[in-house]
Amino acid sequence: MSHAEQLSGMFLSRRAMIERMGGGLGSLGLLAAMPSESFAGMVAPHVPAKAKRVIHLFMNGGPFQGDLFDPKPMLQKFAGQRPAEADLRTERKTAGLLPSPFRFRQYGESGVPVSELLPLTAGCIDDICVLRSTYTDNPNHGPALLMMNNGTILPTRPSMGSWMSYGLGTENQDLPAYIVLCPGKPVRFSILWTSAFLPGSHQGTYINHREIAAEKLIPFLRNMSTSRTQQADQVALMGELNRLQLQRSGPDGQLEGRLQAMETAFRMQFTATEAFDLQQETRTTRENYGEGHFANGCLLARRLSERGVRFVQVYYGDGQPWDTHSNHHDAVRNLCKDIDRPVAALLTDLRERGLLDETLVLWGGEFGRTPTSENGNGRDHNHYGFTTWMAGGGIRGGMTYGETDDFGFRAVQDRVHIHDLHATILHQLGLNHEQLTFRYAGRDFRLTDVAGRVIQEILS
């Protein structure tokens, strides 16, 4: 323990300590050692953690389950018709059933069927648990994005990443605990990674990785006019002057905390820059991931996860590229071409580096799409039933869970609400979703509101 740490350990009140931690529970051991006083949200992990971190591959816009992981031969039989079961109201008016033209095959030892659109991802199917019966509450992008990311349709609640950061803290003081990568801006933007009423340090750090230059990724990371040695002089001077003040004022956790944060910031300029430097990857690795924003996002996700970033979200693209209201079949071919190689490379890479067991990968959109047609060749939003999948982090691979109806419209068996998905992810991280709470405005808030069930059936 450094002198500084001893000092703060001795003289910080519990409240000051929490403030210094950015209100997080990152340093549970330290906090637990302090005199007990009620601190809302302060919960020790309840279950042994299987996963240390999460990567969320977010297909913003909403892919159609029936093209990719949930084959529905009955669509052929009833093509163009609108049987009673498929007569569900979505955002827009849809017509008769529109079969998926894409063929499925069984892959891996498990024999889970995957579409011809994702041949490389299919090669990893034995690591993947396909959740065919996911559903959400609202067929409108905004509310559905909020439900997937914040566990509520209200734009006033913390995002799941900030809950994770709050619950687990960070593994790497030089990097944010929660990083959002998007080559552009998703619809609803920053509200999707807000910390809302949780302390601001748990906010997701949004990075537009269209251009991968570290100084553009983290605000004010690089100084263009001051050299590193000049800055080292500055940091040394501030350190000396701040310590003089500390001597005069007597012990003070806030002053000490800010002093240390300055030194961390100085180091962070170099560690963070290194983390975002894809040039450091071998040519083989770069080739495995392929080219494009999503490939870069996946590779960055691995680099950041490796360095202890708790939650990395990779948005597929700017706006909502998977929102295929027209020309669905052509669009989905291209979209899948973009994601297949990077997704497979990420899973393989994580496995080869021994990281897959402790890294939970989540794939999916904010909802799915209708098996019925819109505009003749498009598909509308479908919140009744869609596919998401998880891999690694203690999730059983090579299985499907839940079923949609004969047309893939509505989840009918072993239904998985987004709350259940969140509960399960938190569980894998060692957090009980009912006890990860924060007292605000007179009550305890949770990511899962008053719902959520850990899907025990898919845990390995």
Partner 1 sequence: MHVVFQFDAVLWVPADFFVRRTVFNGNQMILALPFRMLLTILFLNSGGLWPGDLWLNNAVCGAEQTESLEYFERQVRPLLNAHCQECHSSTTGQDNGALILDTVAGIATGGTRGRLVHPEDVDRSLLLRAVRYADTDLQMPPKGKLADADLEILEKWVRDGAVLPEYKEAPRPATHAIDFRKGREFWSFQPLRSVDVPSADTEWCTSVVDNFILHQMKQNGLYPSPEADAATLLRRLSFDVTGLPPSVDELNAFLSNAAWEQAVDRLLSSPQMGERWARIWLDLARYTDFTPEWQSPTDRGWIYRDWVVKSINDNVPYDQFVKLQLAADLLPDTAPEDLAALGFLGLSPTYWKELRLAPSVIEQIVADEWDERIDAVSRTFLGLTVSCARCHDHKFDPVSTEDYYALAGVFASTQLDERPLLPAPEAQKVRDARARVQTLEAELKVLKEKKSEDAQRVEQEIAGIRANTPGFDTPFAHVLREASIYVKADGDELTKLEYEEARPRDLPVFRRGNPANAGDIVARRFLTVFQQDAPAVFQDGSGRRELAEAMLNQSGGLLARVIVNRIWEQHFGSGLVRTPSDFGLQGDRPTHPDLLEYLSYQLVEHGWDLRWLHRTILLSAAYRQSSAWREDGFAADPDNRLLWRMNRRRLDIEMWRDATLAVTGQLDLRPGGPSRPIDDPENVRRTLYVTVAREELHPVLRMHDFPEASAHSPRREPTTTPLQQLFVLNSAWMEKQAAALSNRIRELENDHSRIEMCYLLMFSRSPSQQEYDLAQKFLNQTTAGEPHAGAPAVAGDPAVESVSDQSAASTAARDVRWKLYLQSLLGLNEFHFVD
Name the one range near partner 1 by CB under 8 A: 222-230, 279-287, 296-304, 332-340.
222-230
- Closest distance to partner 1 from the beta carbon of 197 (Å): 7
Residue 6 as a binder of partner 1 (CB under 8 A): the answer is no
Beta-bridged to residue 181, according to DSSP, are 207, 314
CA atoms of 293 and 210, how far apart (whole Å):
6
**Torsion sign across C-alpha atoms 384, 386, 388, 389:** positive
Phi, psi dihedrals of residue 372, rounded to the nearest 5°: -90, 160
Q: Within 348-407, which residues bind partner 1 (CB under 8 A)? A: none
User: Which of the residues 194 through 213 are near partner 1 (CB under 8 A)?
Assistant: 194, 196-197, 199-201, 203
In the complex, least distance from residue 382 CB atom to partner 1, rounded to whole angstroms: 13
**Site membership for partner 1, residue 233 (CB under 8 A):** yes
Q: Which of residues 250-279 bind partner 1 (CB under 8 A)?
A: 250-252, 254-255, 257-259, 261-262, 264-266, 268-269
229 contributes a contact to partner 1 by CB under 8 A: yes
Nearest-5° Cα angle at 10, 5 to 14: 100
Q: 258 vs 337, which CB is nearer to partner 1?
A: 258
State how far the Cα of 152 lies from the Cα of 137, in Å rounded to an integer. 9
How far apart are CB 412 and partner 1 at their closest, in Å?
6
User: With CB under 8 A as the contact rule, which of the stretches 215-223, 277-285, 296-304, 305-313 interacts with partner 1?
Assistant: 215-223
Write a three-state SS string for 406-452: CCCCCEEECCEEHHHHHHHHHHHCCCCCCCCCEEECCEEECCCCCCC
Closest listed residue to residue 313, CA positions, set 276, 363, 256: 363
Which residues from 400-459 bind partner 1, rule CB under 8 A?
410-412, 415, 439, 441-443, 451, 453
Q: 331 near 61, Cβ under 8 Å?
A: no
Shortest distance, position 21 Cβ to partner 1, whole Å: 9
Which range, of 84-92, 281-289, 331-339, 391-399, touches partner 1 by CB under 8 A? 84-92
Number of residues near partner 1 (by CB under 8 A): 81
Least CB distance to partner 1 at residue 424 (A): 14
Q: Within positions 131 to 170, which residues make up the interface with partner 1, using CB under 8 A?
A: 138-140, 142, 153-156
What DSSP string describes 91-141? SS---SB------EEEETTTTEEEETT-HHHHTTGGGEEEEEEEE-S-SSH
Among 79-87, 114-122, 171-179, 301-309, the segment contacting partner 1 (CB under 8 A): 171-179
Pick the closer one to partner 1 by CB: 60 or 288. 60
Question: Is residue 222 part of the contact set for partner 1 (CB under 8 A)?
Answer: yes
Q: Which of 89, 103, 105, 353 binds partner 1 (CB under 8 A)?
A: 89
Return the range that interacts with partner 1 (CB under 8 A); candidates 9-17, 289-297, 301-309, 329-337.
Answer: 9-17
Q: How far apart are CA 166 and CA 198, in angstroms?
A: 8
CA geometry: angle 297, 303, 304, nearest 5 deg: 85
CA dist., res. 310 & res. 164, Å (int): 7
In angstroms, give the least distance from the CB of 176 to partner 1. 8
How many whole angstroms separate alpha carbon 282 and alpha carbon 441?
A: 51
Residue 422's φ and ψ, nearest 5 degrees, are -65, -45
Q: Applying CB under 8 A, does 87 fall inside the site for partner 1?
A: no
What character string, x for contact with partner 1 (CB under 8 A) and - otherwise, covers 236-255? Answer: -xx-xxx-xxx--xxxx-xx
What's 201's DSSP letter?
G
Write down the least CB distance from residue 67 to partner 1, Å. Answer: 23
Specify whether the CB–CB gap between 362 and 57 falls below 8 A.
yes
User: Residue 36 has which token pair?
Assistant: 């007990």
* Member of 218, 312, 425, 458 binding partner 1 (CB under 8 A): 218
C-beta of residue 64 within 8 angstroms of C-beta of residue 324: yes
